[in-house]
Amino acid sequence: MNRRRTPTGPPSEELLHLLGQLTGRVMERIKLQQARVALAVELQRHMLPPELPGLPGLQTAARYVPAQTGLDIGGDWYDAFMLPDGSLGFAIGDVQGHDVEAAAFMGQVRTGLHAVAGATTDPGDVLSRANNLLLSMSSDLLATCTFLRFDPVLGELTDARAGHVPAVWGTADGTEVLQDPGGLPLGVFPDQHYPVTRRRLSQVGAFVLITDGVVEGPTYPIENGLAQVAARVRAGYDGDADDLAAEVISVADLTGHSDDAAVLVLRHDGGPYT
């Protein structure tokens, strides 16, 4: 004898209605996230300078690529601007987080550096004052940063580092990953000291600043990435700055990076720079 099965759950019409509600909620969340990403992208795009300043004998170039996967926007950035004494200030950094808040904090960091560099041009003082300024804003985020000042009269480059990836410097004498002493990232503890390193740019060469998205991936050690960057600087230190920036940013493709990446190149010809 055949037995008719008794339904044990809600009718199919109810299931379809429930599925439709859930799908609608998911789509709303996706649209909200896409809107947040679009806003963060616009914020970040406006944080990057439309052009870089240069001087006779000093050519500058930069590259930025966004994260390759996911809906998040990164916090990498670079900047370059004239200082009140006629020297040039350069900065590169990476903000903790991957959202609208991180993009907004990036703007605060960049604005803070501009503000304090109007009062002092010493890179260590700039980072120290910017650190205290950011802490006064009571943000929970932090940022790594390298700040440089190029003096065209002396042909001297001074720099200070706040927890950031080492720079790479190449000349005819060789190429070096610069393990200069540094301090903690910005936004951790107040009244921090950031040591300053001085270099004379007295021959043809290239000073290359990067973020960790260039040299480090999920399974790619940062040491390998830095070695790849050094190899490219060694081969192109005496060429065009824009070409070298393109070569260096290509290292990010080797690392399988999930983060965004930025490169800033200062190509110097030995002077004079005025």
Q: pLDDT at position 255, please? A: 85
Q: What whole-number distance in Å separates Cα of residue 71 and Cα of residue 74? A: 10
Comparing CA positions, the residue from 236, 226, 224 lying closest to residue 172 is 236
In the numeric block, which tokens belong to residue 40?
């963060």
Residue 265 confidence (pLDDT) = 98
Report residue 266 as tokens.
């200062």
Q: What gap in Å lies between CA 193 and CA 52, rounded to an integer?
A: 28
* 162: its two tokens: 């706040």
- Supply the pLDDT for residue 70: 46
Give the integer Cα–Cα distance in Å for 250 and 140: 32
Please report the pLDDT score of residue 71 as a whole number. 46
For residue 253, give every residue at least 6 positions away whose Cβ sits within 8 Å of its Cβ, in sequence order, or none.
none
Q: Give the SS3 label for residue 42.
A: helix
pLDDT means per 10 residues, the chain with 274 residues, are 52 64 69 60 68 93 75 76 95 81 81 93 97 89 96 97 98 97 96 98 98 91 96 98 97 82 96 93
Distance CA 42, CA 161 (A): 27
Q: CA–CA separation, 109 vs 240, rounded Å?
A: 30
Tell me the CA distances in angstroms from 87 to 117, 155, 238, one per residue in order: 11, 10, 23
Quickly count: other Cβ atoms within 10 Å of residue 269's Cβ: 15
pLDDT attached to residue 73 = 59
The DSSP element (H or E) to which 33 belongs, if any, is: helix 12-47
* Residue 40 Cα distances to 33, 45, 187, angstroms: 10, 8, 21
Cβ-based neighbour number of residue 64 at 10 Å: 21
